[in-house]
Amino acid sequence: MKFLVTVLALLVAFPAAASAAGELDAVAGAVVLTVTGKIKQINREKFDPVRDGFIAFHEREFDRAMLEEIGMEEAEIDFDGWEGPIRFQGPRLIDVLNEAGWRKGSRITTLALDGFGTKISNYDIKAHGWILATRGNDKPFGIGQCGPL
């Protein structure tokens, strides 16, 4: 089975705020993923236009440790021009969305720090084993190394 890997990243320069819902853990490390939209599980305070200038909504934030606690999957990918195959490791996209309480719509929209974005249909989310790779060959991704996700 062919695995698809998506790179989805939003890195926030400010430390995470305490849990807005009062029941979910606040982010302890650097935020590497923010899920917004029609979700039920939030851990972020209300939008602040001074502090939150990067995007207009912060509903559910994840640091690397939180993502990896969801569960790790692995996909080995080999492209022409690479020195060899890379084992990408990270949680399944559907598991991350479910952790955020995603109210399944027709699609999601991704946006990376470099401005790359794409839309992924609900059908494709369910039909493919998408992972949000946090590591390659057991090493955490950094900015500029396909990361942080």
Q: pLDDT tier at 102 (50, 70, 90 boundaries)?
A: confident
Q: What is the pLDDT of residue 72?
A: 95
- CB 132, CB 90: distance < 8 Å: yes
Most confident of 5-14, 21-30, 137-146: 137-146
**DSSP string of 33-86, one letter each residue:** EEE-SSBS---SPPP-TTT--S-S---EEEEHHHHHHH--EEEEE--TTSSS-E
As to burial, measured by CB atoms within 10 angstroms (0-12 exposed, 13-18 middle, 19+ buried), residue 76 is exposed
Q: What is the pLDDT of residue 106?
A: 78
pLDDT in tens, 117-133: 899 999 999 899 899 99
- Tell me the mean pLDDT in the region 112-119: 85
- Tell me the mean pLDDT in the region 8-18: 31
- Tell me the mean pLDDT in the region 69-80: 94
